[in-house]
Amino acid sequence: MDQNGHPRIGVYICHCGLNIAGTVNVSEVREFISRAPSVVIARDYKFMCSDPGQALIQDDIQQLGINRVVVAACSPLMHELTFRNAAKKAGLNRYLVQIANIREHCSWIHDDVRMATEKAKALVAGAVRRVALHQPLEPMRAEINPNVLVVGGGIAGIQAALEIAEAGSTVYLVEREPSIGGRMGQFDKTFPTLDCAACILTPKMVSVGHRENIKLLSYSEVVGFSGYIGNFKVKVRRKARFVDESKCTGCGLCWNTCPATRVPAKRTIKLGDQIVKQVT
């Protein structure tokens, strides 16, 4: 802000060679935005990301007291950091820079010069209104929890857990069914090679059990989470087992005397809670 608390905005429009100027009338956009409230200077240059282009911005910050910068150019994924660093070198907080994407969002997707120019005006005007509300920010460091939660123990979840564990992180793999494997465990063969599904899946299931840094939470569901990126807290509900997991071998002998719902004598293939097929 200036001494009266008003933003002083500089707008810089890039030709990007002919990538932008071939479809957008850059000088018309410059003239239009130069009349916008709080805009102190509006310039255009063939390549704003070049050293001379960055120097234009830095000189205006230092000589004209520019305290907000709008760059109308390519995607912020390309050069947002470039322009932020340029502003920082000139003494302006790097987060007082706003990018208007008039290349990918405008010139590259239109072939009508008049309509593309009008859209570019709207994009730049929106960026000017937005940057006027920006507040200076400062980077900070925070401790993060490097552990990873994978929800779902199908083949995709298993593979993700194995690869993350291989990279050295602790993985919590949550599966709502008693066993991991998911849909692939119900298949005979896989498309398009017709390989044996179990031959691919089973070794990966075994590998999950052997990895010390994979914590398997089967027969469990995520019921809530809180926190923020890098520091999430997840609440997981473990369903009742009714057996001592440390002693159970899965032999099935307890079925004969179990007072709960009787398990069919035949082998069953289940889809969730529904028996979809029985085989002898």
pLDDT at 262 (0 to 100): 53
Q: Which residues does 1 contact at the CB level (< 8 Å), separation at least 6? A: 7, 8, 67
Q: Are residues 110 and 183 in the same domain?
A: no
- Secondary structure letter of residue 235 according to DSSP: E
- The answer to whether position 279 is within a domain reads no
- 219 in Cβ contact with 177 (< 8 Å): yes
pLDDT over 90, % of the chain:
75
Q: Where are the beta strands (DSSP E) in 79-182?
A: 97-101, 148-151, 171-174
Q: Are residues 22 and 100 in the same domain?
A: yes
Q: Are residues 41 and 80 in the same domain?
A: yes
Residue 24 belongs to a domain with what CATH number? 3.40.50.960
Query: HEC profile for 196-228?
Result: EHHHHHHHHHHHHHHCCCEEEECCEEEEEEEEE
- Take residue 17 and report the two structure tokens written for it: 């060679």
Whether residue 92 has pLDDT greater than 80: yes
Q: Are residues 123 and 191 in the same domain?
A: no
φ, ψ at 27 (rounded to 5°)? -65, -35
- The closest alpha carbon to 57, from 27, 93, 12, 99, belongs to 12
Of 192 and 272, the structure prediction assigns the larger pLDDT to 192
| pLDDT band (50, 70, 90) for residue 7 | very high
pLDDT at 244 (0 to 100): 82
Helix count and strand count (H, E) for the chain: 6, 13
19-28, 151-160, 224-233: which range is least confident on average?
Answer: 224-233
- The answer to whether position 271 is within a domain reads no
In terms of residue numbers, what domain contains 92?
Answer: 9-131
pLDDT at 38 (0 to 100): 95
Q: Are residues 13 and 87 in the same domain?
A: yes
pLDDT over 70, % of the chain:
90
- The answer to whether position 253 is within a domain reads no
- The answer to whether position 258 is within a domain reads no
Per-residue exposure over 226-262, b if at least 16 CB sit within 10 Å of its own CB, e if not? eeeeeeeeeeeeeeeeeeeeeeeeeeeeeeeeeeeee
Q: Are residues 71 and 159 in the same domain?
A: no
- 98 in Cβ contact with 126 (< 8 Å): no
| pLDDT band (50, 70, 90) for residue 2 | low
| pLDDT band (50, 70, 90) for residue 176 | very high
Q: Are residues 117 and 203 in the same domain?
A: no
pLDDT at 279 (0 to 100): 44
Q: Are residues 127 and 19 in the same domain?
A: yes
- The answer to whether position 226 is within a domain reads yes
pLDDT at 30 (0 to 100): 97
Considering only CA atoms, give the Rg of the chain.
Answer: 30
pLDDT at 108 (0 to 100): 97
Q: Are residues 172 and 125 in the same domain?
A: no
Q: Are residues 15 and 121 in the same domain?
A: yes
Q: Which residues does 117 contact at the CB level (< 8 Å), separation at least 6? A: 24, 25, 28, 29
Out of 76, 102, 131, a domain closes at: 131
1-15, 62-76, 119-133, 142-156: which range is least confident on average?
Answer: 1-15
**Matching residue, tokens 């070198």:** 89
Whether residue 101 has pLDDT greater than 70: yes
- The answer to whether position 278 is within a domain reads no
Residue 153 belongs to a domain with what CATH number? 3.50.50.60
Whether residue 270 has pLDDT greater than 60: no
- 92 in Cβ contact with 69 (< 8 Å): yes
- The answer to whether position 218 is within a domain reads yes
CA distance 17 to 44: 12
- The answer to whether position 244 is within a domain reads no
**Matching residue, tokens 């005007």:** 125
Mean pLDDT of 212-229: 94
What single-letter amino acid sits at 55?
A
- Structural element, H or E, at residue 14: strand 9-14
Mean pLDDT of 243-270: 67
Q: Are residues 118 and 164 in the same domain?
A: no
Burial class (CB in 10 A: 0-12, 13-18, 19+), 147: middle
Q: Are residues 103 and 198 in the same domain?
A: no
| pLDDT band (50, 70, 90) for residue 274 | low
Out of 74, 105, 131, a domain closes at: 131
CA distance 221 to 224: 9
pLDDT at 242 (0 to 100): 77
Out of 81, 101, 131, a domain closes at: 131
CA distance 207 to 121: 57
Residue 244 CA from chain centroid, whole number: 41
Q: How many folded domains does the chain comprise?
A: 2
